[in-house]
Amino acid sequence: MTTLDLPKLRPLGVGEILDVSLKIVWRNAGTLIRVVVFVVFPVEILSALLQASASSSSSNHLKIDQTTGQLTFSQSNLNAVIGATVAVFVLALLASTIASGACFRAIASAYLGEQTTWKDSLRFALRRSLSLLWITILVGVLSVLAAIACVLPGIYLWVGCSVAVPVLMTEGVKGRKALGRSRKLVSGFWWRTFGVTALGYLLSSILTGALSGVIIGFAASGTRSDSFAGIVLNIVAGTLGRVLTTPFVAAFITVLYFDLRVRKEAFDLQLLAQRIGVEPPPEALARAGAPSPFEPDPDGDQPPFWPPPPGWKPRGDR
């Protein structure tokens, strides 16, 4: 895994975050492509087969009512189509969650100057797959509920929870605590976070839209979705779409997460001090608004700083 050659972390502008994200993806394309293809490709094959089977079944069982002249569709075929649709959605959600988690891990390691491989990143994500899925579901459900009440609260909550996955993958904080930690990091920088995420997802949408245009062009040439050529086209298009968008989304969200920590917690000073084996000066952390460190506690009953880091427990409770 190629690391990003940064002398130290520093606050970045919106454009710089996206630029650094693109550079990380480009320099580590081999690792990120392997991660996404390994997870997504088998799921795309299975999903394409399910969709083709449902499409073929529905078209073969459509009948014309001789009395009314209307098309009829049996209940059993309707259930088959619904079942295939639900199965495809669940498979896509699982594949996307695991692939994104592995990309988050690989990109975070590269950004901090650490070495990792696509297998290590994938194993790391698989061990946390349930937590990743739970956070994904929580963010989605809460955002939808807030949006139903009013659109603006839904957007506000979605942006506030936007760095929850990097919190999980980097700090090991799970579930609602990860959402709370994300909201604390975003607090005070909501509009900036909104700008980065909106621009990042817009760029991803443009890539996806361009790819969809190519697919529509092929489909317009007469390729049936349930034919062999149609199945292959769907598999290739689905996999390629994930390869293009998943690493980039993971990259700009991860860089955004570290940027928020640099701005709010002087993470650059802490990381630099850790690399050279010393403690960062308390006055520097205080000037940056970071938590104030305690004196070293050999018994492990006192946290290293206050508020305590997420997940910290006294040694007696571990």
Residue type, 37: V
Closest listed residue to residue 230, CA positions, set 241, 243, 214, 219 = 219
Q: Give CA angle at 218 (215, 221), nearest 5°.
A: 150
CA 122 to chain centre: 14
Model pLDDT, residue 293 = 41
In 10 A of CB 82, how many CB atoms?
11
**What string of pLDDT tens digits covers the 318 residues of the chain?**
554 444 356 778 888 888 888 888 898 888 888 988 898 888 888 877 777 666 655 555 545 555 555 545 555 566 666 777 777 788 888 888 898 889 988 888 887 777 778 888 888 889 888 989 889 888 888 777 776 767 777 788 889 999 999 998 888 888 889 999 999 999 989 999 999 999 999 988 887 777 766 665 665 555 555 566 667 777 777 788 888 888 899 999 999 998 898 888 776 655 655 544 444 455 444 444 444 443 444 455 444 544 445 555 655 555
Predicted local distance difference test score (pLDDT) of residue 225: 56
| Residue 37: count of CB within 10 angstroms of its CB | 17
Residue with tokens 């696509």: 118
pLDDT at 4: 47
Res 291: pLDDT: 45
CB 241 within 8 A of CB 209: no
Helix pair 175-186, 228-265: axis angle to 10 deg = 60
CA distance 217 to 226: 17
The residue ranges of every structural domain in the chain are 15-62+73-123+190-290
Alpha carbons 301 and 317: distance in angstroms, whole number: 9
pLDDT at 218: 62
The predicted structure's pLDDT at residue 193: 93
pLDDT value of position 270: 59
User: 200, 256, 251, 247: which is closest to 99 by C-alpha?
Assistant: 247
Rounded alpha-carbon distances, angstroms, from residue 190 to 43, 96, 260: 36, 26, 10
pLDDT at 1: 54
